[in-house]
Amino acid sequence: MWRTRFRTCPRASRDYFQPFEAARTGQFQLVTAPIPATLPPMSAADGTTFLQRTRDARKVMVLDLGMLGDTVHLLPALWLVRQSYPSAKLHLSVAAHVTSLFECIPWVDKVWGYPRYPQHATLRENAAMIRGLRREGFDALINLNGSDRSSWLSFFSGARERLGRRPGDGGPWFWTKLFTSYVQYASPSEPLYLQRCRCLEQAGFPVLAPEFRPQLTPAHLAGTGITPSDAGTYLHLSPFTTTKRKELPPDQFIQLVAGLAGQHPGRRFVFSCAPIDKERTRLAELLPRLPIKPWLVFPGNLRLAQLAAVIQHSRLHASGDTGPLHLAVMTQTPSISWFFNYPGLHEWLPVGHRHQSVIGTAPVGETFLPDIDTNALLAAAKSVLASDSPVGFFA
């Protein structure tokens, strides 16, 4: 699904095929897959000169493999890469099921989809990925993720220069050997997108204000039933996440909808969920219980660029800790959200005057968020909208 946040695979063993174990069968399969035997040098040079050494690169790969939230938080760093290599062909690798987001990011020349959901890539698929990377002959590769799987793919890519972000725990003993340069930056109090920009700054990239740079047009609303004239006339709500632990109890969500309807009597309501059967079933059960009749419902049937346009056109987005919330950040759409407190929380919290979050305590077990105050969420919505005027749609 397009909302699951990226998680790293288990640590690789000394056998370099271990990260590419066939996850779909649970069995290790040795597949005949011819890969050029010439491997890149295993040494890590000073990361601060990476941009200087690669300025003349004609083809650049940013290899991330991330899910939706990770991918949105990559965009400011990706835009910095685009500006730093204005004449190069810019490639990007992300989870296959989030590639449709790049229908509104035309400044990336080619997007590679890597199998992440519902199952990880098999050994055969990884071998095919490596062959494809090596055929392209990348002059430079940038990996700001640092996970085992993405690091091995970076190493076998054949790229002449490879910049990696070292994992917070340092990674396995050989990790630095997988890249020609690496940087190390961890600041859990900063948004993830800002941390990635800081990594590039360490590698000699210019210091610029972070920009997400989506390019949404009226064409991205095609098939949604929404037109540009509907901008600001509705609220968008996404009630579900990857786990109930990040969600409001259904009765409380219904109370929130009633409260928002009372605050905004002239506005309509739009609801959406992820393209998985479990969420579609839960949404179908929730809709008859709502105190208002939804204007539109999208049961996981939108492409991500379409969903981004729907969110951008809304006056307010409301959800828990999930992918559509990051699309609201990307499109500068005012939002309210609910979280529980956990390590790394501030890497994902929306920041700025357009966004307010209510943070509760962690639930025990697989239960809903226990202590989010509905009145606090309503007050947050009122405050956000009072301090914000709509940004230019399709700017």
* pLDDT attached to residue 391: 52
Instruction: Classify residue 143 as left (phi > 0), alpha (psi -120 to 50) or beta.
Output: beta
The tokens of 219 are what?
């064409």
* pLDDT attached to residue 227: 97
Categorize the per-residue pLDDT at 44 as very low, low, confident or very high, splitting at 50, 70 and 90: low
* pLDDT attached to residue 389: 64
DSSP annotation of 241 reads -
* pLDDT attached to residue 168: 84
- Find the mean pLDDT for residues 346-363: 95
Residue 197 reports pLDDT greater than 60:
yes
Per residue in 141-151, pLDDT tens? 999 998 899 99
CA angle, 274 as apex, 367 and 391 as ends, to 5°?
A: 105
Give the global pTM: 0.86
| Selection from 155, 130, 328, 109 nearest residue 237 by Cα | 328
CATH architecture of 18-202: 3-Layer(aba) Sandwich (3.40)
* pLDDT attached to residue 45: 59
- Most confident range (mean pLDDT) of 42-51, 179-188, 327-336 is 327-336
DSSP annotation of 207 reads -
Tell me the CA end-to-end span of the chain in Å, nearest whole number: 29
Compute CA distances 151 → 43, 120, 147, 154, whole Å: 14, 15, 6, 5
Helix (H) or strand (E) holding 360: strand 355-360
The tokens of 331 are what?
């499109």
Peptide bond into 210 cis (omega under 30): no
Residue 153's contacts (CB-CB under 8 Å, 6 or more residues apart) are: 63, 65, 93, 126, 129, 130, 133
Per residue in 299-337, pLDDT tens? 999 999 999 999 999 999 999 999 999 999 999 999 999
- Find the mean pLDDT for residues 61-73: 95
- Distance separating alpha carbons of residues 290 and 388, to the nearest angstrom: 28
Categorize the per-residue pLDDT at 13 as very low, low, confident or very high, splitting at 50, 70 and 90: very low
Percentage, residues of the chain above pLDDT 90 = 79
- Per the prediction, the chain carries an average pLDDT of 88
Question: Domains of the chain: which residue ranges?
Answer: 18-202, 218-386
* pLDDT attached to residue 366: 83
* pLDDT attached to residue 364: 87
Percentage, residues of the chain above pLDDT 70 = 86
CATH homologous superfamily of 218-386:
Glycogen Phosphorylase B; (3.40.50.2000)
Residue 29 reports pLDDT greater than 50:
no
- Distance separating alpha carbons of residues 202 and 15, to the nearest angstrom: 32
